[in-house]
């Protein structure tokens, strides 16, 4: 809350976490920091469920990533935004989602799926519509595979 102006209708900037630990992105989101200071926004970074440091046990589970879907990540983020608004006593504060690559796709999809939660989204390097047209045989919701790759390399 370094820049938060304390106004109950002030802006909240919300980073939609990717398939990697959220700490990797905090210092690589210059636009959030720059605009956050200028607009006295509250800056929030959310971690994607099941990212490498918080994944469930892989032992004895046939479908351990059943709850690691993009839709569930978006639902987590919507719930987190409601909780942040409650915590800061700012139920009508406008929220702008930020993200890049997969996180950018999440930001864009979140704006589409939860227009009542987000006032807008800034998505960088996010082929939100491109995947639907170039990967017809693939599931659009591929986050579980990305997370699995991250976990396997994390040990």
Residue 64 is predicted with a pLDDT of: 64
pTM reported for the whole predicted model: 0.78
Q: Characterize 20-41 residue by residue with b for buried, 16 or more Cβ atoms within 10 angstroms of its Cβ, and e for exposed.
A: bbbeebeeebeebbebbeeeeb
Number of Cβ within a 10 Å radius of residue 153: 8
Residue 10 is predicted with a pLDDT of: 87
CATH tag, 12-154: 3.40.50.1820
Residue segments in the chain with a per-residue pLDDT below the cut of 50: 134-138, 154-155
């Amino acid at each position: 809350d370094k820049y938060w102006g304390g106004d109950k209708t002030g802006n909240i900037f919300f980073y939609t976490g990717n398939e990697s630990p959220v700490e990797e992105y905090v210092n690589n989101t210059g636009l959030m920091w720059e605009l956050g200071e200028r607009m006295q926004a509250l800056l929030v970074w959310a971690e994607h469920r099941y990212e490498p440091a918080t994944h469930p046990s892989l032992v004895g589970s046939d479908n351990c990533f059943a709850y690691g879907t993009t839709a569930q990540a978006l639902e987590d983020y919507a719930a987190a935004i409601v909780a942040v608004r409650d915590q800061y006593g700012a139920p009508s504060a406008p929220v702008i989602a930020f993200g890049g690559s997969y996180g950018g796709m999440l930001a864009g999809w979140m704006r589409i799926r939860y227009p009542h939660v987000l006032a807008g989204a800034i998505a960088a390097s996010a082929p939100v519509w491109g995947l639907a047209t170039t990967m017809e045989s693939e599931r659009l919701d591929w986050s579980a595979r990305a997370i699995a790759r991250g976990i396997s390399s994390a040990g």
